[in-house]
Amino acid sequence: MRGKGEGSVFKDSRGYWTGVVELPPLNGERRRKKIRRKDKKELLAELAKIKSELERRGDLPTANQTVEQWLNYWVEQVAAKEVRPNTLDGYRRTVNNHIIPAIGKVKLDKVTATHVRRVHDSILAKGLSSTTALLAHRTMSVSFKIAMREGRIGRNPAELTAAPRKARPALEALDLEEALHFLEQASQDPVRGARWATALLTGARRGEVLGLEVDRVTDVVDLSWQLIRLPLSGVDGKPVVPADYEYRHVTGGLYLTRPKSSKSWRIIPLTGPLKAILDKYIPAMPPNEWGLLFTNDGKPISPDQASRDWRTDMAKYGIQKDVRLHDARHSTVDLLLEAGIPEDLVMDIVGHSVRATTRAYKSPQNRKRLIAAMEQFALLFTPPETINQIEQNRETA
C-alpha cells in the first residue's frame, strides 16, 4: 500500500520497493525513470532526491534512450534554437544519412569510441570523402557534449578517438585567360552579365551577389546582407532560426540575412571594369519592389537557380572546367594575387580575414590601400592600349 504523496511506489514480484518518476516526453514518447531498493525508506529518500534534481534541471538521463532518440531531440529542440539555418541543415543531413543508420539503435549511455569509429568507417565504405566523416565526427561531438551538459551521459565518446583528417579538395578555378574570356562574353549579356562580373571581380559569395541592393552600390560595394532560402516552421510559418538571427523577408522562403558573422561583412571599393559594367547595367535594370540589384525579370533569384544559370553560361561560353559559382571566389583570389595585391588585402576583399573590411575600411590608410589594390586589380582586365594611354596621361599631367 502506497502512503499519501509517495507517488508511483510499489513492491514488485521479487520483493523490491520500486519507484517510478515521469520525465518529459522525448519525440512524443512517454519516458519514465525507475529505481528499486530493498528498504522503503531508502527508496522514498532516493525518490525525493530525484524529484528535486528533476525540478532543478528539467530532465534526467535514462538508461533506455537510444542514440537515434537523442539525436532527433537534440537537432529539433536544441540545435534549431542555437545555430544558423545552414548549420542546422548540415546537422540534419549528417544525422539522418550517416549517424543514425550506423549507430542509431545503440543506447546513448553505451556509446564508445568503437561506435564513433563505426560511423567513420560506414561513411568511407560508401565511397564518400574523409571530409564527410569529419563532419559526422564533429556533429557527434557537439551533440554528445550537450548530452553531457544535460547529465544524459558521463563522457563524450567522440573525444575518445581521433577525428578523421579533412580531405584536400580538388577545386577548379578560372585562370586569367578564361576569366577574361568569360567576362568578355558576359559583357554582351544584358540580363546576367553584370551578375557574373560582380561575382568574379569582388569575390562575393553567391548569396551576397543575389542579395545586393541598389542603394548598397555607390563608390563601394557593401556586402553586408545575403539572399538565402530559410526553412519555415510548420507551426507558424516563420523561419526556423535562432532568436538573435537577423533577417528580412523577401518572398516565399527567400530572406535577406546577415552573413555568418560580422567579420564577413565587407565593403569593397568600386573601381575599373566593374564600375563601368554596373554604371551601364543599373539604369536599364528592371524595377522591383525589394530594391535588389539582380533579379529575374523583376523577381528575386533563388540560390539554386543562380547556380543553374552559371553552369548554363559556362557551357555557352565554351568553358569546360567544372567551376561552381561559389568557386568563382577562388578565381578572384588567384587573380588578385596574380595582380600583385598584398595577401592581407586579398583576405580583406574576399572576407577570409579575422579583420572585417567593414571596420578596416573606415581607416583612411586602409581605405587608400584598398582603393589602390582594386585599381591595380582592374589593370588585369584593361586592354594594353588603354594602359599605355593612362600612363601617357600621367606623364603629361
For 322-376, how does the pLDDT look when each residue is reduced to its tens digit (9 = 90+)?
Answer: 888 888 888 888 777 777 777 777 777 777 544 344 344 344 555 676 677 777 7
One-letter amino acid of 93: R
The pLDDT of residue 360: 44
The Cα–Cα gap between 213 and 59 comes to 47
* Cβ contact 213:225 at 8 Å: yes
pTM (two decimals): 0.69
Res 337: pLDDT: 77
**What is the pLDDT, as a whole number, of residue 367?**
63
Enter the C-alpha cell of residue 276: 563601368
CA atoms within 13 A on the CB side of 42: 8
Question: Residue 209 has what pLDDT?
Answer: 95
DSSP 282-325: HHHSPP-TT-BSS-BTTBPPPHHHHHHHHHHHHHHTT--S---S
pLDDT recorded at residue 68 = 94
Distance CA 329, CA 15 (A): 71
What pLDDT does 141 receive?
Answer: 97
pLDDT tens digits, residue range 11-61? 887 888 888 888 777 656 677 777 788 888 888 888 888 787 777 666 666
Q: Give, for 137, the enclosing helix (H) or strand (E).
A: helix 130-149
pLDDT of residue 138: 96
pLDDT at residue 364, as a whole number? 55
Q: Helices (H) and strands (E) in the chain — how many of each?
A: 16, 8
pLDDT the model gives residue 361: 39
**From the first residue on, what is the mean pLDDT of each consecutive set of 10 residues in the chain (397 residues)?**
53 82 71 81 84 71 80 91 90 96 94 96 94 96 92 90 83 82 86 91 90 93 92 77 88 89 74 86 92 94 95 91 84 78 74 46 57 72 59 59
Helix (H, G, I), strand (E, B) or coil at 224: coil
**What pLDDT does residue 392 have?**
60
Helix, strand, coil proportions of the chain in percent (round to 5)?
50, 15, 35
d(C-alpha 40, C-alpha 113), whole Å: 39
pLDDT at 2: 42
